[in-house]
Amino acid sequence: MLTDVLMTVLAPENLLIIVLTTIYGCFIGAVPGLTATMAVALLVPFTFFLDPIPAISAIVATTTTAIFAGDISGTLLRIPGTPASAAYVDDAHTISQNGKPRTALLISLLTAAIGGVIGVIILMLVAPQLAHIAISFSSYETFWLACLGLSCAVFVGGGSVPKSFASLFIGLAIACVGIDVAVGYPRYTFGVDDLMDGITFIPAMIGIFAFSEVLRTVQTLKKNETQLQTITEPFFSALKGAMSAIRRFGVTVLRSSLIGTVVGALPGAGADIAAWICYALARRMSKKPDDFGKGSMDGIAAGGSANNAAISGAWTPALVFGIPGDSVTAIAIGVLLLKGMTPGPRIFIDQPELTSALFGSFLVANIMMVPVGMLAIFCSTYILKVPRAVMAPVILLFSLVGAYAISGSVTAIWIVLVLGLMGYLMAKVEIPLAPAILGIVLGKIIEDNFMVSIIKAQGNFLTFFDRSYSLVLGIVTVIIWALLIIRAVREMVAGGKRAGGEPQSGKTKATKSEEGAF
């Protein structure tokens, strides 16, 4: 079996796809405003024509490098390329201004690779074990699990409680469009045949993450883009500096990778939140907390490893339960479903070679990122010179044609437009996007399993707590709901006092950063 797995992972086509997507991810991630999720959403039409393993490899390679490449513009321009780089952008930029941009970038590149590899190793160890438990789940457990995923997204996603819940219900309402499972009644289709199957997921994601991003970009176009810094140090001394820094902050890297993986696995909390949490933690643990924000290599190591570990962590719930841990895995689940593979414990039991190959590709993608990333550090000034005025229309055309390619009908383009505007407006009024995305992905699962369960139980809701796992999952879900209600009441009380409108310090920062990528 091992040779089969190695053959699949190291097959020339697979390696070629990983190299190409690594370069692509690097480019998109480095351009400010273009997020990793957007890179993946635009890639989907191409993965559609690949086998499952190369398709997933492509998605993984794109995300890991895009998250690292976000540091390139963060370091050189002080504009985080993706929200995940926002936590430590001041540190990276300060080091860069002190004449050592390459050292800062190499630290984030190497810690990113370490974080990613640790995240994958945890995934390899944990996912199959979880799958063995999950295999015994019936419709009751699946229902509760999906509910738990949704509640978790509301809980950790940032934003006020009513707005997070509103986002969730928007997602659920969108998931209701189309033929219903129980009796086949068309809901909210307005007589459009293409809507019978529901809102197609990939065009929806392209709209929410690509179109709304393009719209934001064209609103902030400036005549003269920021001046690039050109002073730099020799590559090898930078590499030496980076290596010694990583050795010095090894503990930080390890801790951040572990925590990042766990945070990434929580539905609704992605790479950006992981980076913020680990950065704050590193600052608290540091002997020199005053350096943070003023060029602390410790901080870069913490954030840089945490965000890439989170990328890997997000795959655990996605592969085992079909519940995405972040927006990228939400898209990946969509891709797998298009290929007729339903993510879930069955894959681990029935096709272990497939999951092993998947993990192998994850590792290769994380390692491949190092040489490509170094190349990107060399060429960084050229990458950043591509004007956003050119990028915006090009990305627009690719997203429109991509959506059309997925479903072969113009309805997809309308979906891109409508949901794109919706996503844009939601971000404008500070409604978090994560719960809505999960609502769209999980809405059908929740409804299907609820209907099956309630028919089995002949309308008796208490049977939802009859089995041991479903009891535990149900109770945890109910506890989270209770906590959310308490938080909402607190917010209301505090909101009255805060009416003068002073900014909500740290929390708002995290919410803001998260707008683009989950």
Find out whether 327 and 209 touch, Cβ atoms under 8 Å.
yes
CB of 358 or CB of 412, closer to other proteins: 412
Angle between helices 434-456 and 139-156 (to 10 degrees): 160
CB of 376 or CB of 431, closer to other proteins: 431
Q: What DSSP letter does each residue of 108-176 carry, written as one string?
A: HHHHHHHHHHHHHHHHHHHHHHHHHHHTT--HHHHHHHHHHHHHHHHHHS-S-HHHHHHHHHHHHHHHH
- Residue 220 near other proteins by CB under 8 A: yes
Beta bridge partners of 186: 179
CB of 252 or CB of 513, closer to other proteins: 513
- Residue 199 near other proteins by CB under 8 A: no
Q: Print the SS3 string covering 361-427.
A: HHHHHHHHHHHHHHHHHHHHHHHCCCCHHHHHHHHHHHHHHHHHHHHCCCHHHHHHHHHHHHHHHHH
Choice from 32, 45, 241, 264 touching other proteins (CB under 8 A): 45
Choice from 6, 7, 132, 188 touching other proteins (CB under 8 A): 188
Q: Print the SS3 string covering 163-210.
A: HHHHHHHHHHHHHHCEECCCCCCEECCCCCHHHCCCCCHHHHHHHHHH
Residues within window 90-109 making contact with other proteins, judged by CB under 8 A: none
Choice from 3, 49, 125, 505 touching other proteins (CB under 8 A): 49
- Residue 400 near other proteins by CB under 8 A: yes
Shortest Å distance, C-beta 128 to other proteins: 33
| Side chain identity, residue 177 | V
In the chain, the N- to C-terminal Cα span, in Å, equals 37
- Residue 234 near other proteins by CB under 8 A: no
CB of 4 or CB of 51, closer to other proteins: 51
- Residue 227 near other proteins by CB under 8 A: no
- Residue 168 near other proteins by CB under 8 A: yes
CA distance 51 to 53: 6
- Residue 363 near other proteins by CB under 8 A: no
Find out whether 308 and 108 touch, Cβ atoms under 8 Å.
no
- Residue 190 near other proteins by CB under 8 A: no
- Please give the C-alpha separations between residue 344 and each of 122, 325, 472, 507, in angstroms, as whole numbers: 18, 14, 20, 34
Choice from 132, 133, 136, 169 touching other proteins (CB under 8 A): 169
- Residue 32 near other proteins by CB under 8 A: no
- Residue 192 near other proteins by CB under 8 A: no
- Residue 483 near other proteins by CB under 8 A: no
CB of 217 or CB of 361, closer to other proteins: 217
Shortest Å distance, C-beta 400 to other proteins: 6
CA distance 108 to 400: 34
CA dihedral sign of residues 263, 264, 269, 271: positive
DSSP label at 33?
A: T
CB of 214 or CB of 332, closer to other proteins: 214
At 442 the three-state DSSP class reads helix
Choice from 11, 19, 20, 46 touching other proteins (CB under 8 A): 46
- Residue 421 near other proteins by CB under 8 A: yes
- Residue 457 near other proteins by CB under 8 A: no
- Residue 405 near other proteins by CB under 8 A: yes
Q: Give the binding-site size for other proteins (rule: CB under 8 A).
A: 70
- Residue 210 near other proteins by CB under 8 A: no
Find out whether 30 and 73 touch, Cβ atoms under 8 Å.
yes
Beta bridge partners of 228: none
Stretch binding other proteins (CB under 8 A), from 35-43, 59-67, 175-183, 236-244: 175-183
CA distance 221 to 389: 7
Residue with tokens 């050189």: 76
Find out whether 107 and 300 touch, Cβ atoms under 8 Å.
yes
Choice from 93, 100, 102, 163 touching other proteins (CB under 8 A): 163
Choice from 5, 26, 210, 416 touching other proteins (CB under 8 A): 416
Choice from 443, 470, 473, 517 touching other proteins (CB under 8 A): 443
CB of 168 or CB of 370, closer to other proteins: 168
- Residue 172 near other proteins by CB under 8 A: yes
CA dihedral sign of residues 108, 109, 110, 116: positive
Shortest Å distance, C-beta 208 to other proteins: 14
CB of 185 or CB of 236, closer to other proteins: 185
CA distance 228 to 233: 15
Residues in touch with other proteins (CB under 8 A): 45-46, 48-49, 160, 162-163, 165-166, 168-170, 172-173, 176, 180, 182-183, 185, 187-188, 211, 214-215, 218-221, 223, 387, 389-390, 392-394, 396-398, 400-401, 404-405, 408, 410, 413-414, 416-417, 421, 428-429, 431, 443, 446-447, 450-451, 454-455, 459, 488, 492, 495-496, 498-503
